Amino acid sequence: MSNEFVPIEDHTLQVQTLFVQHQQAVLAFVLSLEPRVHEAEEIVQETFVTASRKAASWTAGTNFLAWACTIARFQTMSSQRDRGRSNRRLAKDVVELLAEHTEEDFAVFQGRVSALRVCLQRLAPKAHELINLRYHAGQMPEQIAEEIGWTVNSVRVALTRARNSIRECLEKSEETAQ
């Protein structure tokens, strides 16, 4: 094996840079198809590798996010098939239907991801922690209650309030965007 330095082509570097810029939107897209955060993050990593390998197939000036999400869709289906989790994955035709997006859809999607980030930042610190434990760490209310020393019912009520707060915030941001 040679230790020679092989420079990355400018086009491949451009694709990798764009991928890093759009990584959160790609992750959000993958999460719409694969609800487990850890597995979705692994799929996004595989998508980055595949996008780097297939950089020559992307044309500068076209919708990068749509191209990356197409790769992510195939990576998601491949990952789910390889894991053989037929009882936990969406049917192939449903995945195909969800993946049929236009450039305008992706622009709206990016706006919603940005709005969600803002709404999450506006949550009270404890509510933000609960949302992270539930949706990022994938813990169930019973696990969260044990971890933070609350009753399960208190966790459920707090999560419901946090979700309602996020929903209201998102609705307000959509109203102001129109």
pLDDT, tens only, 54-91 = 999 988 888 898 899 899 999 998 888 887 654 455 56
Domains parsed from the chain with CATH numbers: 1-101 (1.10.1740.10), 102-178 (1.10.10.10)
Kindly give, in sequence order, each residue whose CB lies less than 8 Å from that of residue 9, ignoring residues fewer than 6 positions away: 55
The predicted model gives 140-169 an average pLDDT of 93
pLDDT of residue 124: 94
pLDDT(95) > 50: yes
CA atoms within 13 A on the CB side of 36: 12
pTM of the model: 0.52
- 148-157: Cβ within 8 A, 24+ apart: 155/130
Residue 5 reports pLDDT greater than 60: no
pLDDT the model gives residue 107: 66
Residue carrying structure tokens 């764009």: 18
Q: Which pLDDT tens digit goes with each residue over 9-25?
A: 787 889 999 999 989 88
Select the more confidently predicted residue: 100 or 150. 150
Cβ(71)–Cβ(51) below 8 Å: yes
Query: Cα–Cα distance between 71 and 48 in angstroms, integer?
Result: 9
| CB 5, CB 89: distance < 8 Å | no
pLDDT of residue 19: 92
Characterize 147-178 residue by residue with b for buried, 16 or more Cβ atoms within 10 angstroms of its Cβ, and e for exposed: eeebeeeebbebbeebeebbeebeeebeeeee
